[in-house]
Amino acid sequence: MKAFIKFDINIVTKKLLEDLLKPFNIKFRVIGFGEIEFLENVSQPKIDEITSILNEYGIEIIENQKSILVQKIKDTITEMVNSEEPLSVKSSVYLADKLNHSYGYLSNLFSEVTYTSIENYIIIQKIELAKNLIINNQLTLTEIAFKLNYSSVAHLSTQFKNITGITPSAFQRILMKRREMSIKNL
């Protein structure tokens, strides 16, 4: 039996960090998405131990300033793409305002560190969300295009195909066939 789950990544991450850091008896607070502050001095051996445990869950402690800002850019994009409310400003303006840097600086830094553009990263995140929305089968393609701030279903379909190699409609058909096959196999 398959079950589709919906979760808030912020809540999951906060709870996971709390559970993983509790045994260390270190006071800390979660400042925001992807950012915590230790409220006491932590020895390097303890930091190494914490880093090792967090790495098992795909969580990485970032110390390099450029990498920290790039992670903040990624987190802000994730927050922006997953927002329930559509953006009323361009993503470049949103990122610059949210991160207090010029978009040109953010864009150059992001490309330097990740070897891809912010625009491409946004598209990838939007297509991942579109795939999840299609999988959850709650919205039509028109509603998904609107939710993700696309001008049309055709625009969504073009970007979806560029990233995945298939159209959203083909993706839906594949899912339906898989669901039918899994029901038959029960």
pLDDT score for 32: 65
- Round the average pLDDT of the chain to a whole number and report it: 86
pTM to 2 decimals? Answer: 0.68
Q: How many CB atoms lie within 10 A of CB 41?
A: 7
Taking each helix axis as running N to C, give the angle between helix 103-114 and helix 65-82, from 0 to 180 degrees, rounded to the nearest 10: 110
pLDDT score for 98: 92
Residue 1 is assigned to a structural domain of this protein: no
Q: How far is CA 3 from CA 35, 137, 185, in A?
A: 31, 12, 16
Low-confidence ranges of the chain (pLDDT < 50): none
Taking each helix axis as running N to C, give the angle between helix 44-55 and helix 9-21, from 0 to 180 degrees, rounded to the nearest 10: 130
**Are 73 and 18 in the same domain?**
no
The token pair at 84 is: 């329930």
**Are 130 and 171 in the same domain?**
yes
pLDDT score for 186: 66
pLDDT score for 34: 67
Domain count, the chain: 3
What are the beta bridge partners of residue 35? 32
Domain holding 147, by residue range, is 119-186
